[in-house]
Structure 1
Amino acid sequence: MTILTLLDHAAVFVFALTGALVASRAQLDVVGFVFLATLTAVGGGTLRDLLLDRPVFWLEAPSYLGSAGIAALIVYFTAHLLESRLKTLFWLDAAALGSAVAAGVGVAIEAELRWPIVLVMGVATGTFGGLMRDVVANEVPLILRSGELYVTTALAGSLTALIALQFGLALPICLALAALTTFLLRAGSLAFGWNLPRYKPSPPRTF
C-alpha cells in the first residue's frame, strides 16, 4: 500500500465517522447514516480527481465505499454512548482534515503540478467533503464557523509539505509533516481558540 493510498483510506474512514455523527445529530435512519458518511468520505477526493482528470479513486477501488459504510454502521450503533457527539465530531474532523490535505498534496506533487495547484488540491481535498456534509445536513459548515481556523490550517499544511520538499525531504515525510501541521493548527483552534483577526466594519464616514 502506497503512502497516498494509506492517506486516502485514513481520510475516508475518519471523514465517514464525522458524516455519520452528523446523521446521528439529525436523527436519520441507517440509510441516511450510510449516505451522509459516504458523501463526506469521498467528496474531497472526488473533486480532486475530477479537477486533475485522473480516475476517481473510489471507482478504481470500491473498497473505499465499504470502509465508509462500516464507519457509518459503527457510529449508528455506538453514537449514543458518546458524552458529546459534537465535540467528538470536531476532533475527528480535525484528524481527517490532516490526512485528506496530505493526500491531496501528494497526488498533485506526484503529477508534477505547479505549487499553486498543489496548494489548491490540498485545501480542496481536505475541506470539500466536510462542506458537502454540513450543507446537506443543514448545519453551519465548519469551514465557515466564526472564530476558528479551518481553511487556514489546510493551506498551512499544504505549504509545509512544499517547503519540506524544497529541503530535499522524502515525499512520505513531507506528507506526514503536512498532516501533522494541519491537525495541530486545527487542534489549537479547537482547544485554545486560535484564530485570525476577523473583519470589523467601520462606521460610515461623514463629511
Structure 2
Amino acid sequence: MEVDVLKLGADKSGAASLNEEVFGLEPRKDLLHRYVVWQLARRQAGTHKTKERGEVAGSTKKIVRQKGSGGARHGNKKAPQFRGGGKAHGPRVRSHAFDLPKKVRRLALRHALSAKQGAGELIVIDEAKLDAPKTSELASKLKAHDLKSALIMDVSFDENFSKAAKNLDGIDILPVAGTNVYDILKHDKLVLTKAAVEGLEARLLGTAKEGAAA
C-alpha cells in the first residue's frame, strides 16, 4: 500500500510503500492482549515480601500448656493470629515472567502496526533529525502535525533530536530494536521514519535477526 511521506513540520515530501503483511492485517485483539500481558508481567519486579512464621523474631517456646488452660491451643507467639507474628501465606520474591513464543510476539507486533495504519494513526516522515537540540523547535514541528501523544521510531536517533524530545510531555522516541506492542498502542499516533519502516519490515518478515525486546 502507498502512503504519503511527510517532512517533519512541513508538507508531503514523497511516498512510501508499506508491506501488506506488516501494515495491512486485520488486527486481532487476542494477540495484542497476550503480548501486552506478557510484556507487563516481565516488567514486574516481584520483590514484594513479608515475613512468615519462621522468619519473625521471637521465642519458639510454647506459650500455654496444650490442655487444661480453658483457652485455645497455641504453639508460640510467632503464629499469624498474634500481633507481631508472621504473615500467613504472604507474598514471596518471585518472577512474574512467563514464556511467549517468538512467532506469536512477531505476529502481535505486525497486528499492532496494522491497527495503527487501519485507524489512520500512522504517520511516515522522511527523517527524524534536528540541527540543534532545541525543544521549542521540535515542539513547533510536531504541532504542525497535531501530535500531542506520539511514539516516534527510527533505526537510531541523532543526539540533537533525542535531547529535544526528552522534554516533551506525551512524546516518546524508540529505536526499531526496542519495538513493542505496549508502547505502540498507548500513544495516539505512531510516527515512523522511512528507515524505521524498512527496519520493521525486515525484522518482522524474518529477514533480520529477532531483537531482544520482541
Do Structure 1 and Structure 2 share a fold, with TM-score over 0.5? no
Q: Which one has the largest radius of gyration? A: 2
Q: Going by fraction, where is strand more abundant, 1 or 2? A: 2
TM-score (norm 2): 0.25
TM-score (norm 1): 0.25
Q: Going by fraction, where is helix more abundant, 1 or 2? A: 1
